Amino acid sequence: MSSTQPADGAAAAPSASDNSLPAPPREYWQPQAFTTLEEDDKRLDKLDGFTLVHMTNRMGAVGARLGKGSHGVVYSCIKDTEPDKLVAMKVMRKDAEYNTLPVESETIRYLANREHLYPGWEHTARMITEFRRLSDDVFVTWAIALEYCDTNLDSLSNFNSPWLYENTGSFGLPVPLTKIIMSGILKGLDFLSSCGVVHRDIKPDNVLINYWPPMAKLTDFGLSTRVDQQIVTYYDTLAHCGHIAYRPPEVVRRFGQRSPVVDIWGAGRCLAYMITGFHLSFARNETDDWFDSLDGWMTLSPGFKFTVRRMAPDSWPVAGEFDLLFGFETPENRGAIHLLRDLLQFRPDCRISPAWALGYGFVKDAAEHEDAAWRWLRSMLMNRPPPRMQDEGWKQWLNISPRR
């Protein structure tokens, strides 16, 4: 992790009061004729009241597709009645094995109805509207319009890692920015937990980032569930539905239950990602050994590793300082490691809650670092990535944002 100020030689960072990005010329985003889209994207002409726009990113690459996952594709659009306001339009993929949009829209509406009951709702992505169509005599959601955010945690780190390493000597995000993002993740999870919702897929791709004011929002609730929800489908039985690299150990051992503790593990992995700039586990599929994939970043003592691989979670001991060793611990990030160790407790019932985690010193003073986080963001945004990244720069959407 980096110091609290941009390094010497970095782009001059404007003052915190200068919180506006340069106004983009109109060619940075223009309405696009639907006939020029790929065949799979032509369904967008059925989105009444919204117009697709092509964005130009910092590399000069143009495209309307902001991202693509296993279940949906996200496009940049404008609302016809508010042409200066961008929205993120998420559309179900034609080849998706499972349509997650009905669950996502239902969960977001459920959370919106409880915004006045618990704090932290502003750290979850908001839905503007949804589009439904008739399928087997039932109206099914096939597209949802979400609030537009500037980037996500994965893109923010990937796109700026070379610049960060050149200026700070670390691929990880600066401390002030890490504090702000981690605080937002925990506040969002605290709100979900209060509402009885389990996200089940917390990872850097699903953490959205706004530049000003700097803040994090949780998104992609298509695999979420409620603790009290009746089991109807196979997905309802799963404790975690995300990538194997972000699964908690009890789920890897097939002992997991639908509980907010799986989201706490994901939050800890996100914190480790922000500290190092790398994912803790390199497991890619079910055949990879999840425990061996941790070696190097998070090392388990032989006795502790033997126990968690062969016994049920309720028999696992609490991981002590010598049971769980982090290969990236330094005096500078000791406060973050203290929080990380309690978020990544292997025994599920010993992981701290989001509300408890917010009391840790590393994130407790996050609001005081907002200006410093903004200065770091401005410095990163003013720098082009090195030439070796420009060929793939179109994948990293750090767009100039008009009014949200």
Query: At which of 121, 149, 177 does a domain end?
Result: 149
Q: Are residues 117 and 131 in the same domain?
A: yes
Q: Are residues 121 and 40 in the same domain?
A: yes
Q: The domain spanning residue 185 has which CATH number?
A: 1.10.510.10
Q: Are residues 138 and 185 in the same domain?
A: no
Q: Are residues 285 and 338 in the same domain?
A: yes
What does the alpha-carbon distance between residue 230 and residue 137 come to, in Å, rounded to a whole number? 23
Task: Quickly list DSSP for 38-94.
Answer: -GGGGGGGG-TTEEEEEEE-TTS-EESEEEE-SSEEEEEEEETTEEEEEEEEEEE-T
Would residue 2 count as lying in a domain? no
Task: Quickly list DSSP for 136-169.
Answer: TTEEEEEEEEEE--SEEHHHHHHHHHHHHHHHHS
Q: Are residues 82 and 171 in the same domain?
A: no
CA distances to 6, 19, 274, 376 from 13, rounded to whole Å, are 8, 11, 21, 7
3-state SS of the chain: helix, strand, coil percent to 5? 40, 20, 45
Query: At which of 116, 149, 182 does a domain end?
Result: 149
The model carries a pTM of 0.84
Would residue 378 count as lying in a domain? no
Q: The domain spanning residue 79 has which CATH number?
A: 3.30.200.20
Total of domains in the chain: 2
Q: Are 48 and 37 in contact (CB under 8 A)?
A: no
Q: Are residues 32 and 71 in the same domain?
A: yes
Quote the domain boundaries for residue 171.
151-372
Would residue 19 count as lying in a domain? no
What does the alpha-carbon distance between residue 258 and residue 171 come to, in Å, rounded to a whole number? 34
Q: Are residues 145 and 223 in the same domain?
A: no
Would residue 55 count as lying in a domain? yes
Each residue's pLDDT expressed in tens, for the chain with a length of 404 residues = 665 566 544 444 444 444 444 333 333 333 333 333 444 455 666 677 888 877 665 544 556 778 777 778 888 888 888 877 888 999 888 776 778 888 899 999 999 999 999 999 999 999 998 888 777 667 778 889 999 988 899 988 888 888 888 888 888 999 999 999 999 999 999 999 999 999 999 999 999 999 888 999 999 998 888 887 665 554 555 556 777 888 888 888 888 777 889 999 999 999 999 999 888 887 777 767 788 777 678 888 899 999 998 998 888 999 988 888 888 888 788 899 999 999 999 999 999 999 999 999 999 999 999 999 999 988 887 776 555 444 443 333 333 333 32
90 marked as part of a ligand binding site: yes
Q: Are 77 and 87 in contact (CB under 8 A)?
A: yes
Q: Are residues 160 and 261 in the same domain?
A: yes
Would residue 181 count as lying in a domain? yes
Q: Are residues 228 and 309 in the same domain?
A: yes
Would residue 10 count as lying in a domain? no
Q: Are residues 232 and 273 in the same domain?
A: yes
Query: At which of 107, 133, 149 does a domain end?
Result: 149
